[in-house]
Structure 1
Amino acid sequence: MANPTECDLEAYFREELLKRYALKKSVLLPKEQYNKIIAELTATDTSAKKTPHEYYLLKKYEVLKCGEVLKLIRRRNTNEEPIYFAKLEDTYDIIKHAHIATGHGGRNKMVKELTKKYANITHDTISIYKSLCIECQRKRKRPTTKGTVVRPILTKNFGSRSQVDLVDMQSMKQDHLTKFCVLRPLTSKRAAEVAYQLLDIFLLLGAPEILQSDNGSEFTASVITELKLLWPDLVMVHGKPRHPQNQGSVERANCDIKDMLVAWLGDNQTTDWVVGLKFVQFQKNSSYHSGIKRSPFAALFGSDAKVEPPVEPISVEPPSVEPTAVEPPVEPTAVEPPSVKPTSVEPPAVESPSVEPVSVEPPSIEPPAVEQPSVEPTSPLSVRQNNIISQRKRVYEAKLSQAERMVKRSRRIMDRGNVGNNVTIPIPMVDRSRGDPRNIMGMIVDIDENDNYTIAVKSGILSGKYTRNQFDLCTYELYSEDDVTTDRIVSLRSAVQQESKSGGQGFAKCNCAGSKRCQTNRCKCFKLKVKCNSRCHSSLHCENKAML
């Protein structure tokens, strides 16, 4: 079966309207009902006594005679333009005419256009037609789906997974469990400099089991992969091109860091962002994180960070020493000893039993040896270790709870796709030309056990798997198995280029010079059989320009 013809779409549209009319007899008027109302109105005798139903018809409708044809219109006052009631069977052609007249306009545009002449074209009827228009499906803007996720990434141990990204010439690494981030300023995006900073961070905190990044050249270069020579167990994974949701955690942290850095520069009246980056790193790690229900510092080290700058405690210590120097007022109490002079007899009393304590001292040494085992459970190191284990366990529980909420919300927003469903896939700007639509239509041909979808389009099966939040389901099935190709694999850009009316992604321009420019295959535009444009050879005139 080829693409649905106009007759197929009209039949499907009419069938949907009849279903709605059967459920609720509203303003939609099938042909039989339309003719019946006209017959009742024409048969009504204005002088005779009327029934309540006839009064209702006369108050709402009016019959307009156009030659030999009777039209049903809304009751009007003098000198008003007639507003017609459309038959259900004619609704498709009426909406189609208005849709093309508004340039495939949206619902509100079409409502304004149709209400000028028709009284019973509803919003629901217009929405049904728009869902059957293939061009509207291709060009529609995708609704925002914030907070939706298909399969959240969960880690149980520190260092299991780290995410790295570049933000306006600054490098950022974040541990996925504790959300602890390390910020490093860079002078460029060269892979060698990024590798040097990663090496420094790994030698400080240890290399993670998995290092996740995007597909930037600074992360995919060979100098980065050479880090595996030092850490053979290090696994490097890269997200899908132009899909930052693959590492949404670090992308969200990037936004916070930008805002915090701007605020720090404003508070300190400076442009030295390299210095501010250190303060922002401390502020970010010591502040509360809603995802893990504590600060990243506490999740990593088992206790909250000291919020005060380290200079303040040092300056506070001298005053604490001064009181001890002032406490010699105890010296006046030295006056008391004269009154306690009888206690001077104590030394000889102590001298005589001084030998006895020597025999008593050995038992006094034994208790410390017995107390040592009891000190081990309360040692600061063991307490800190227990706090770290407890904090990270609670962090994992908080992230698990957050992941369950996100998945539940995503399933409520996004319905699961089935094999055979029609879908629209957004096309990134870099993969389409200015004359191409925003979306490409396809059909689901396979779903694996991880809910990853394989989608086929006219030119073939799109390379890679798609998750549910990367496409939208069509309301109606406009493509069938015969409309897509499943015997070859193509990239998204190639698929768009083959369906494009303007040649697909890319903007050809030339810099030809000379009096005979743009007349041979040496000219890029002439070779591609396209006309030169305003970007070619400084907008100078040539023989290959379109003449108006």
Structure 2
Amino acid sequence: MAARRGEPKKSDVPFDYQATKQEYMKTIKKQADVRPWLQSELKSVIADIKMANGKSSELTQTYETFVSDDQERGILILRRDKSPTIIEVVSAEDSFDLFVEVHQATGHGGRDKMLQNMRQKYHVSEVCLKIFLDLCNVCRTNKKVNPEKNIHHTVIVDLLDFCATPEETDGDFGHVLIYKFKWSGFTLLRPISSTNFEKDIALELLNIFLDFGPPAKIVVDISRLSLFQSVIVQIMSLSCDFSVLVEYNVNEDPTKYCIKDSIQNWIDVNGTGKGWATMCHLLQWKINKSKSIEQSIHVKDDCPHSAHFK
């Protein structure tokens, strides 16, 4: 395959090649079992097959190798009995450019259309393909959201940082995840570990999705866009049938400043950050039973709790 085969020309669709590739490479490295292998593992398998010198093994029964036309690299192919077709095994990293090429050639086709296009020549990881499709900025932008669900299934997500000084952290907790239903103003607060930051966010969001159902769309601060895109990809890589669009919020939600001030005042009064992670749950109840904090424009008379659950 030619290097950077999928990098779009200026006349192509506005696909963000560099940003998508960077996020893709970061995401695949976090997958516990990406097959076909990463480039380093693929090279090791090719070397093992060559050292086998024709001796039968699990690897040699499934794969074989040959040298590329330019004699610069070994190529791993699937062994197909009585079939002249060569199916090249493509590493997770090299798959990105192949995905871009096929995705654009099929008019931003989905999983099945892309696999049908590739399977006669290439063997790729479906896990990697799903990661790529979830990250495609063109598909995210063009994704249709049911107008009725646009209000009732849009949430605003943000993070508060209390890691500036050790005195403000509560043990391992240094951040607060804010999850606000746009239509009702109902807000969830979740303390987040600083040690397993991204993993903890993914776990808390997954728990919320399982309890309340996944939203059609979440909007985040633009500085957090890449983080939450990566988190949503991790969640959607599970067997759960979730499809969540991530967009950035042009206007900041004022609720987060009320929450940050409340937690900061608690820290100042107590002279320590110890205990604010528990206090977040009490603050959540206060917010959802109050009309004093900025509420959704769609709910005028009820407090968020009453509006959400009536």
- Computing the radius of gyration from Cα coordinates, the structure with the larger value is 1
Task: State the TM-score bracket (shorter-chain normalisation).
Answer: 0.3 to 0.5
More helix by share: 1
TM-score, with length taken from structure 2 = 0.46
Return the TM-score normalized by structure 1: 0.27
